[in-house]
Amino acid sequence: MSKTTKPDPIVKKSIDTIRTLAMDAVQAANSGHPGAPMGMAPAAYTLWQEFLNFDPQDPLWPNRDRFVLSAGHASMLLYSLLHLTGVRAVDAEGAIRELPAVSLDEIKRFRQLDSRTPGHPEYGQTSGVETTTGPLAQGLANSVGMAMAGRWLGEYFNRPGFTLFDFNVYALAGDGCMMEGLSSEAASLAGHLRLSNLCWLYDSNRITIEGATSLAFSEDVPARFRSYGWNVLSVADANDLAALRRAFRAFAQTDDRPTLIVIASHIGYGAPRKQDSESAHGEPLGEEEIRLAKRNYNWPEDARFLVPPEVPAHFAEGIGRRGGERRAAWSSLLKEYGAAFPELAASLMRMERGQLPEDWDRDLPSFPADDKGMASRVSSGLVLNELAKNIPWLLGGSADLSPSTKTRLAFPGAGDFAAGDYSGRNIHFGVREHAMAAILNGMALAKVRPYGSTFLVFSDYCRPAIRLSAIMKIPVIYVFSHDSIAVGEDGPTHQPVEHLASLRAIPGLIVLRPADANEVTAAWRVAMQLRRQPVALILSRQNLPTFDRTKTGPASGVARGAYVLADAEDGQPRVLLLASGSEVALCLAAYRELQAENIAARVVSMPSWELFEQQPRKYRESVLLPGVTARVSVEQASTMGWDRYVGPSGRSIGMDSFGASAPLAALQEKFGFTPARVVRVVKDLLAEIS
């Protein structure tokens, strides 16, 4: 502890319990390192016990303060707190159970199969874990999204005398988080928006896996954050509880900007003998070092997983009592609010439960047949605006591309989300694709329905956060326009080729690439009803003809992932033409040419492989007839994955190179995306297998 302050014995015992649980759990697992939990235990204790508004008996209380462990490798710090504060478990449906979120037995099973204490915190697996962390700085950007959502919720739901939302968001980060570019993107936006409900704790221990941070990191972090418009505070000794309290009070009194608290710590406090970098950061301490550390704490050296009973009782009198009282007061206020504002209260309950308003889809457009049609990004913008009128908590924006992605909400009252006015629903993320995607995750975790957009080729910048959306099973909507080489003159740097395949490779992500305006409506309908899956909506830059649905299959087939758009007259085709998005119209044109030559064909629109794979086998075989082995897929993208559907006898027309800079018509001719090419491939295939 600090040389200048001597804490009460119960305070020291509580902090040391956090430390020793971390040491013992890591040693038992023979995996991980307790250094960060040991070094930051005083800061975590002070925050949780004295400042955090969180009720361990109701870890889903909507107005709770959020604690995000961006330095996910320090997971035992969080698990120790969840155990000692008595946080209760929550089931998959959100019901609170009479069980601890993290029992002592679970701490003993740290990093073991099916435990509630995985190596990095995982949302949905352990209540009290606000977000899945591990990839450094993701938690920081998530915390910005939570803070943004908190501000919007306050603007929308609060009324004079009824403050339902005013929570703060705290995030604990380390040197690695600060090195990641994502933290810079997120901090820049948070400072611009003046999110005074956001506080980052920077564990500045000056060491990473390879050794001292001086090997690769010498910037002035406080100066960087001051330039972003943050309030920067410093605590020179992580064990100085009085200084920590002053810093947290200063954050609470700052109402015009976010706060960074730089906390100087020594990794593995109490175990100074380990000198090499691998021992200091990358592996358990070892039995001898643990005994030395415990001796330094005046702790029983041979005790394992010791939790003195007075420690949980101490936490119960601090965070437990405070959180319970705050939550009870909030619940009483909510009852009064429900009487005064019944419609708003009903909306709040629906939002928290992941439900949609009644008649949320009543105004969705249906588009008439039109050979010229419209770009699917344009029809998507029309559908999005109608949805947002009826779903007040649907909000989002783009990485500086809303004029191109058509994602701006343009109806009266939509407004811009901005510093000084957080009521707007159009968010300007700036050219920060990675931060945008990670911020959307944080917003979704706060129960609003967020969307974000950019060009499909820049999904590469979003990928780490999209992957976490899928891991957490949260309903974020990613809108990607400019979906193929049809971008044209912008050339190969802007023409996505491998991106569809790479997005389809992410487990749990629903990829939807609609073929015309009515499929766009159907795709948004599907996306909005998903509660535990993120969506990537893939849209065209160029016009797509709107099909005459009196002559084709209905667009409602999108909900099943694939459906028969056009068929042979007798329902017995010789060849199947499979496509998604803009290439469906190309297949339809080829289908008509084949018809004229008495070659019976079926066109299958396949906007979502993931949804199609969820269908019963009988339905899938009714669409992709097993007896028809002549199959041709057409997609202006990598052919990777199409072999699953075309089979060993089939053919795939796609891209096996990057694109080129040229007008669309020239590109289609060069790379073979023409009806004539499809017809030729079909004829060659039929001749080969006949």
Distance CA 483, CA 664 (A): 13
On whether the CB atoms of residues 301 and 294 are closer than 8 A, the answer is: yes
Give the burial class of 568: count Cβ atoms within 10 A of its Cβ; 0-12 exposed, 13-18 middle, 19 or more buried: middle
Q: Which of 106, 289, 386, 433 is catalytic?
A: 433
Distance CA 550, CA 567 (A): 13
User: What's the residue count for the chain?
Assistant: 690
* Strands (E) located in 136-194: 169-174
Give the burial class of 248: count Cβ atoms within 10 A of its Cβ; 0-12 exposed, 13-18 middle, 19 or more buried: buried
Q: Which of 401, 412, 408 is nearest to 380 (CA)?
A: 408
Structure-block tokens of residue 74: 């320090």
Structure-block tokens of residue 145: 């999204």
Q: Nearest 5°: CA angle at 129, between 123 and 134? A: 65
Give the burial class of 171: count Cβ atoms within 10 A of its Cβ; 0-12 exposed, 13-18 middle, 19 or more buried: buried
Does the annotation mark 433 as catalytic?
yes
Side chain identity, residue 245: R
Distance CA 626, CA 607 (A): 20
Q: Which of 362, 610, 579, 408 is nearest to 505 (CA)?
A: 610
Side chain identity, residue 369: A
Q: What is the DSSP string of 319-376?
A: IIHHHHHHHHHHHHHHHHHHHH-HHHHHHHHHHHTT---TTTTTT------EEEEEEH
328: Cα separation from own chain's centroid = 30
Q: Could you tell me which residues come within 8 angstroms of residue 142 by beta carbon, excluding any fewer than 6 positions away?
A: 68, 70, 130, 131, 133, 171, 438, 439, 441, 442, 445
Which residue reads 């997609």 in tokens?
635
Distance CA 87, CA 109 (A): 18
Residues that are catalytic: 433
